Amino acid sequence: MEAPRPHRPPSIRLVNALGRAASGLGLRLPSLSEESLLRAAEEATGLADFGPSGFRPGLHQLLASLERDAALNSIGRIFARGQIVDLLANRLRLLEHRKRHPDLANQRVERPLFVLGLPRTGTTILYGLLAQDPAHRSPLSWEVGFPCPPPRGETYHDDPRIGQMDRQLDQLRRCVDCIRCGACFSDCPKRGEGGEFIGPAACVDLFRFFFDPRDGSREKRGGTALAPGGIFDCDSHANCVKVCPKDVRPLRAITFMKREFPASREE
C-alpha cells in the first residue's frame, strides 16, 4: 500500500512544484555545489580564510550524498543549503576570532560533556535534563547556531542572534501546518474516557517519522504508536478532522498506520 502524501501548506507545495519544473529543464535549484556554498559563506561574512582544508573531503561526501541519496525536494534543498552555508560562515568567524585572540588556545575546558546520537534517540531530552543542573553551563540554541562572537553577560538576554534563531526555528515549524493548538486533543472523545491516548497531533508526528522515504527503521519506531495509548486507542470519531483549523487531517494518518500494522491490534 502506498502511503498518502503528508499534508503540506500551499506555499510549500508551490515551491516544490516549481522545483520539479526546473529539474525537468536540467536545473537543480538551489545549487548545492561546493563552490557556490563556500562563496555564499564568504559573502555572508566578508571573510575568506577557511583554515586547514581537512574539512573539504567530508563536505564533498556530504554534498554528494545529498544529491545522490537524500531525494530532497526544493524545500529540502533550500534548508540544506542554508544550514551548510551557516556552518561554513561559523567556521570563517571562529577562525577569524582565534586569529584576533590567540590567547584562547591557552584556556582549558575541564571535563566537557557532549551529547551525541542519531535522530529520535532521546538526545534532546537528555541534554535538557543535564541543563537543569546549575553546575553545568549549557549553551542555548542561539549560542550553538551562532557561536561567534562569544555571548556577553550584559547582552545575554537580548542578543540579536536570539531573534535570528527564533526566525530559523519558525521556518522549520511552518513546514508542517500543525500549530499545536490542542483543538484535536481537547475535542477527542478518548480524552473524556480518562485513558492514555497520546492524541491526534502526536499520531501525525509518528506518521511523518514512519513514512519518511529516507528512514529505514520504521518498525523500530513503531513502539510508541503500537503501545497502549497509541493509534489503536483511536476510535475514529473524526472530531479531530472537524475542529483542526489547519486541515492537517490526523485521522487519515492514524487510519493508514492501523492498516499497516493490523496484527498489532490482536496482540
Asked if residue 175 has pLDDT above 60, the reply is no
Q: Would you state the pLDDT for residue 58? A: 96
CA torsion 253-255-256-261 (nearest 10°) is 120
Classify 84 as helix, strand or coil. Answer: helix
CA 189, distance to chain mean position in Å, is 31
Q: Would you state the pLDDT for residue 214? A: 47
Give the C-alpha separation, 163 to 176, whole Å. 21
Q: Would you state the pLDDT for residue 247? A: 76
Task: Name the DSSP letter for residue 4.
Answer: P
Neighbours of 213 (CB within 10 A): 8
Amino acid identity at 16: N
Q: What's the whole-model pTM score?
A: 0.61
Domains along the sequence of the chain with CATH: 1-105 (no CATH), 113-175 (no CATH), 183-266 (1.10.1060.10)
Q: How far is CA 206 from CA 77, 181, 224, in A?
A: 23, 18, 8
Q: Would you state the pLDDT for residue 213? A: 46
| Positive/negative CA dihedral, 33, 36, 40, 46 | positive
Q: Would you state the pLDDT for residue 47? A: 96
